[in-house]
């Protein structure tokens, strides 16, 4: 029997690799003859750069860049073994996790750092850049990133503007004289965690700026800035930049769209294709996936729903392991799960379950999954 184990991380307690290892150990303790394939997963968000780098037998490169508040930090990206492809995650250089809560302010934050990482990879001579965006602290529509790649943003008076969200509304001209020469010859793919447009009620400012520290007044200013920048880019380059996904990462895809030959794809679809997951699921008899918390978000393009889609396509029995499940039974039906196994229990405090997730996982697999397979 071939069993595929392809879970996401259990955020705050186990990495995807640890979840794989624990499930595998429990199953082999039951039956050492099982053929087990483990594939630690990510959905395009946190952990994707590691996933893509390790599945390409790649290595990591560290560069000194600027964080969202222009402070120096070291950030890393992956590069494939053949040095052809670089794998970057926006959040490593421009992410919310780099700021303390009181520092969050999308009027003053920049994507300069992720642009510097891109420039570093271009200087190394990669032919392809794959960039995961989301979890950002910014709403500058990629202005900082573009500046790191050689664009200068000028005001009506011809003065250089600092690349932060607040200044989008003041951009009058883009000076492209010193734009990085490799931008036009390098393939760019962005994978996004959301499909929001650049501006408007579902745009970057209205939907994501509040979590980055914006109040109502800032949201209005940022949204107007995005609208202004969008029409300037359309006039200058003749390309539409208010497309689905342009509102991800504080609007960064808008700038990349006009500077490169950009492809924008949903994160999970990209990972499924990159890891050839179709093949793995097709060859398995049983598929096990999971994540820390199964909830409404699980149903919209996360690892569990992506794997569930494939299990359904190839008619494979699907088992889901979760720290907790907050979805009612009828919402779970669409995932077509043979059995859902949860680690938490109403009588046990959540932090106990989080701390002891590895032990609990081993126990539950033996008690519930093995039991089910034996029956």
Ligand X SMILES: O=C(O)[C@H](O)CO
Q: Which residue ranges make up the site for ligand X (CB under 6 A)?
A: 133-136, 193-194, 208, 248-250
Taking only Cα atoms into account, the Rg of the chain, rounded to an integer number of angstroms, comes to 22
The number of angstroms, rounded, from the C-alpha of 119 to the middle of its chain's C-alpha atoms is: 20
Looking at beta carbons only, is 36 or 214 nearer to ligand X? 214
Q: Which is nearer to ligand X, 208 or 319 (CB)?
A: 208
Least spacing, CB of residue 297 vs ligand X, in Å? 12
Cα gap 292→46, rounded to integer Å:
14
Closest distance to ligand X from the beta carbon of 26 (Å): 34
CB of 134 to ligand X, least distance (A): 4
Q: Which is nearer to ligand X, 197 or 250 (CB)?
A: 250
Are 320 and 337 within 8 A, CB to CB?
A: yes
Query: Integer distance in angstroms from the first to the last C-alpha of the chain?
Result: 15
User: Which residue's CB is nearer to ligand X, number 208 or number 229?
Assistant: 208
Alpha helices in the chain (DSSP H): 16-30, 48-55, 90-94, 112-124, 143-148, 204-208, 216-237, 253-259, 267-274, 277-283, 303-313, 329-332, 350-355, 357-364, 371-374
- C-alpha–C-alpha distance, residues 316 and 282, integer Å: 8
Q: By C-beta, is 214 or 310 nearer to ligand X?
A: 214
CB of 136 to ligand X, least distance (A): 3
Q: How far is the CB of 204 from ligand X (least distance, A)?
A: 6
CB of 248 to ligand X, least distance (A): 4
C-alpha to C-alpha distances, 61 to 37, 65, 118, nearest whole angstrom: 29, 12, 12
Least Å distance between CB 249 and ligand X? 5
* 331 close to 305: Cβ distance less than 8 angstroms: no
Angle at 48 between CA 50 and CA 108, to 5 degrees: 105
- DSSP SS3 for 218: helix
Pairing between β-strand 317-325 and β-strand 286-294 as defined by DSSP bridges: parallel
Q: How far is the CB of 38 from ligand X (least distance, A)?
A: 28
Task: Compute the least distance from the CB of residue 135 to ligand X, in Å.
Answer: 5
Closer to ligand X by CB, 133 or 281: give it.
133
Q: Are strands 286-294 and 72-79 parallel, antiparallel or unpaired?
A: unpaired
> Nearer Cβ to ligand X, position 80 or 136?
136
Q: Rounded to an integer, what is the distance from CA 352 to the centroid of its chain?
A: 28
Nearest to 120 by CA among 174, 168, 66: 66
d(CA 223, CA 199): 6
Nearer to ligand X, 219 or 277 (CB): 219
Choice between 133 and 258, CB closer to ligand X: 133
């Amino acid at each position: 029997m071939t069993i595929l184990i392809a879970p996401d991380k259990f955020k705050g307690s186990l990495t995807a690799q640890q979840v794989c290892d624990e499930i595998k150990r429990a199953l082999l303790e039951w039956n050492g003859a099982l053929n087990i394939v483990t594939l630690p997963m990510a959905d395009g968000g946190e952990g994707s750069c590691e996933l893509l780098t390790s599945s390409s037998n790649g290595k990591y490169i560290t560069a000194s860049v600027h964080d969202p508040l222009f402070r120096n930090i070291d950030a890393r990206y992956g590069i494939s073994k053949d040095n052809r492809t670089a794998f970057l995650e926006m959040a490593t250089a421009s992410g919310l996790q780099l700021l303390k809560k009181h520092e969050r302010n999308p009027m003053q934050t920049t994507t300069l750092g992720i642009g510097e990482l891109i420039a570093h990879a271009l200087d190394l001579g990669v032919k392809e850049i794959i960039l995961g965006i989301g979890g950002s602290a910014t709403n500058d529509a990629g202005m900082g990133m573009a500046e790191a790649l050689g664009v200068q943003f000028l005001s009506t008076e011809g003065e250089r503007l600092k690349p932060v969200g607040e200044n989008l509304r003041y951009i009058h001209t883009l000076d492209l004289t010193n734009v990085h020469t490799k931008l036009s010859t390098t393939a760019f793919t962005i994978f996004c965690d959301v499909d929001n447009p650049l501006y408007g009620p579902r745009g970057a400012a209205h939907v994501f700026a509040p979590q980055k520290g914006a109040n109502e007044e800032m949201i209005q200013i940022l949204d107007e800035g995005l609208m202004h920048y969008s029409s300037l880019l359309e006039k200058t380059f003749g390309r539409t930049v208010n497309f689905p996904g342009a509102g991800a990462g504080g609007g960064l895809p808008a700038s990349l769209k006009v500077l490169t030959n950009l492809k924008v794809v949903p994160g999970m679809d990209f990972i499924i294709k990159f890891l050839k997951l179709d093949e793995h699921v097709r060859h398995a008899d049983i598929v096990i996936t999971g994540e820390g918390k199964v909830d409404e978000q699980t149903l919209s393009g996360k690892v569990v729903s992506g794997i569930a889609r494939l299990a359904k396509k190839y008619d494979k029995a699907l088992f889901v392991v979760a720290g907790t499940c907050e979805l009612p039974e009828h919402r779970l039906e669409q995932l077509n799960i043979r059995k859902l196994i949860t680690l938490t229990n109403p009588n046990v405090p959540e932090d106990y379950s989080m701390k002891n997730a590895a032990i609990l996982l081993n126990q539950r697999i033996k008690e519930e999954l093995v039991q089910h397979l034996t029956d």
